[in-house]
Structures are given as structure tokens and as C-alpha cells.
Amino acid sequence: MRINKFKILQYLLLIIEIGYLVAINIIPALKPLRSSIMAWILFAIYTINLIFIWSLDKKKTTHFEDKEKRLKDARESQEKLLDRSRWYKF
């Protein structure tokens, strides 16, 4: 099993985020960060960036596969229309 560096980075950033939440609740020296609005704004920005990084990893179909699927669907619909028109001819 091969894990790439990008996946390791994703998990590391997630662990840092969870570690921050745990740290501000456990460590007494970080207690002022709980009520700091600036700390929560920075945390929200970090979380949004983390969500963006995780969304980059999703596999998308290629343009070629999409085009091939559309052509196949178009052929099938044309065949259905031809079959239907044969029944309505007089």
C-alpha cells in the first residue's frame, strides 16, 4: 500500500486542527484563546482551507469519459426515437 505525501499532509493538518481544539480546553495557559474572537476567526479560516485541501483529493471523471458517455446516451435516444417512429408511420 502506497500513501502519497499529499495524503500525509491532509491527515497532519487535520491532527493539528483537532489538537488545537483539545489544547485550548486542557492547557490552562491557552484558556484566554477560548474567548478571543480573533483566535476563532483564524481557526475558521484554517478550517475552510482544510476543507478545500480535502476536496482537492476527490477523483473526477475525465472530459473524455464524459464525452463518451454523452455520445452513447445520444445514440440510445436516437435508436429509441427511430423505433417509436416506425410504429407511428401509416
Half-sphere exposure of 73 (CA within 13 A, CB side): 6
CA distance 80 to 59: 33
CA distance 13 to 49: 10
Q: pLDDT by residue for the chain (90 residues), tens digit each?
A: 567 888 888 899 999 999 999 999 899 998 888 888 999 999 999 999 999 988 887 666 556 667 777 788 888 888 887 777 666 655
Give the pTM: 0.58
Q: Phi, psi (5° rounding) for residue 60?
A: -115, 155
The predicted pLDDT at position 64 comes to 60
